[in-house]
A and B are shown apart, each in its own frame.
Chain A
Amino acid sequence: MTNSQFRLSAAEAELPPVVTASGDIDLANVNEFSDVLNGAAADSDAITVDLSDVSYCDSAAVRALFAVAATTKLGLIVPTTGPITTLLSISGLDRVATVATRD
């Protein structure tokens, strides 16, 4: 079971719901990641995705994030450096999502 790998916390006060991801995100589990993102976006016009504990993600995750950002205001929490941050700037996803860093 990888239920805990993508965790959705309900919206609190004025803040959007938060999806917290950890571990690796790749083709093997990207559908699960997408489902959690879509579930969060279904009830809210903004979501935050916390990627600061993600060890690895590839283009599959970037695609899923672009897809959800097409319909929802997307906020991302990422580590200051590392492969995820690089992928965000290569893809330009950081230009259509609000990015906050966490060390």
Chain B
Amino acid sequence: MAPSHFQPRKHPQLVALMQRILERMQSDLLDAVGLAIIVYDKRNDERPSVLAAQGVGAELVEAQLAGIGGPVPDAIAHQVPVLSLDLWTDDRWPELTLAAMRDRSPQHQSSWEQVHGAAAVPGVWADEATVVVCCTLSQPASAATVASLFNYEQLVSAALITTAAENATAIEDIITVLQSRGAIEQAKGALMGLVRCDAEHAWSMLRRASQEFNVKLRDLAVALVEHISGAPAEQPDTGTPITPDNRTREAAGLMWAALSEAPLPQ
């Protein structure tokens, strides 16, 4: 066994990525009052801790881990997704109440009063190393909340795995994927409309064109969207926007022209 194990919190870039993922979660889960990503590595002699948080996520998780109990410690202990319809009245955690949280962090009183549901989804990213992605909502949580956390847990676990493998460029790649996802979806949508095909076909056309013209797929997607709309592609405010070079723009123009003239597939 290696003398010292990978410790996520010592990698500021990784923590920044986790923060970005939480921002994206916040836009998916509009009712979220708090979000957090918790890591727990049994091999390092330390307790579970919050790696990144939004809203009152950190305070709520720290209270749960301090012995009050809640979905997060249960998700860690039993390695199952945990859902609560109403956190303060849930009979599984009698000590986790509105009054208890008000006493602990009175400065967040108004947030505590909004809290209803919560969900926590655990994942394993290394032998004996667990990550939990959790949210607290101003609405009761539903199975759809848990299903949405599954997607983020996979993203978070993948980021931890690749970073733990000391592949520093992987973080850059994941940030770029997040950055370009909107444009790729838009480009796919435009192709689906033009050629009347499904999403998978549109994706394979994009991929093929990016190989033929030898340009990056994400750049091509942005160039394509800008070519069609004559306006900048939709990109998140955070991060470095993708700016396709002239060669890529030319490729996008050629691709669009060729497809516009081609007969529709039967």
Q: Indicate if the CB atoms of B85 and A66 lie closer than 8 Å.
A: no
Q: Indicate if the CB atoms of A93 and B83 lie closer than 8 Å.
A: yes
Q: Indicate if the CB atoms of B83 and A95 lie closer than 8 Å.
A: yes
Q: Indicate if the CB atoms of B82 and A66 lie closer than 8 Å.
A: no
Q: Indicate if the CB atoms of A74 and B80 lie closer than 8 Å.
A: no
Complex CA–CA separation, A93 to B84 (angstroms):
9
Residue B44 CB within 8 A of the other chain = no
Among listed A1-9, A48-56, A84-92, interface-contacting one: A84-92
Complex CA–CA separation, A69 to B92 (angstroms):
21
Q: When the two chains form the complex, which single residue of B74, B84, B147 contacts A67, counting CB atoms closer than 8 Å? A: B147
Complex CA–CA separation, A99 to B176 (angstroms):
44
Complex CA–CA separation, A96 to B84 (angstroms):
9
Q: Is the interface of A mostly helix, strand, loop or mixed?
A: helix
Q: Indicate if the CB atoms of A96 and B80 lie closer than 8 Å.
A: no
* In the complex with contacts A63-B150, A90-B78, A70-B83 CB distance below 8 A: no
Residue B2 CB within 8 A of the other chain = no
Interface size classification for chain B:
10 to 19
A9 shortest CB reach to chain B, Å: 23
Give chain B interface residues in 142-164, CB to chain A under 8 Å: 142-144, 146-148, 150
- Which residues on B sit within 8 Å (CB–CB) of A77? none
- Which residues on A sit within 8 Å (CB–CB) of B146? 66, 70
Residue A29 CB within 8 A of the other chain = no
Of all chain B residues, the one with the shortest Cβ separation from A65 is B143
B91 shortest CB reach to chain A, Å: 10
Complex CA–CA separation, A101 to B144 (angstroms):
24
Complex CA–CA separation, A84 to B142 (angstroms):
20
Residue B57 CB within 8 A of the other chain = no
Q: When the two chains form the complex, which single residue of B80, B144, B148, B150 contacts A91, counting CB atoms closer than 8 Å? A: B80
List chain A positions with a Cβ less than 8 A from chain B: 58-59, 62-63, 66-67, 69-71, 74, 87, 89-93, 95-97
List chain B positions with a Cβ less than 8 A from chain A: 71, 74, 78-85, 92, 122, 142-144, 146-148, 150
Known contacts A66-B147, A96-B85, A96-B142; 20 additional CB pairs below 8 A are A58-B79, A59-B78, A59-B81, A63-B81, A63-B150, A66-B83, A66-B146, A67-B143, A70-B146, A71-B144, A74-B143, A87-B78, A90-B74, A90-B80, A92-B84, A92-B85, A95-B84, A95-B85, A96-B83, A96-B143
> Can you give 19 contacting A-B residue pairs, CB < 8 Å?
A58-B79, A59-B78, A59-B79, A62-B80, A66-B81, A66-B143, A66-B150, A71-B144, A87-B80, A90-B74, A91-B83, A92-B71, A92-B84, A92-B85, A93-B143, A95-B83, A95-B84, A95-B85, A97-B143
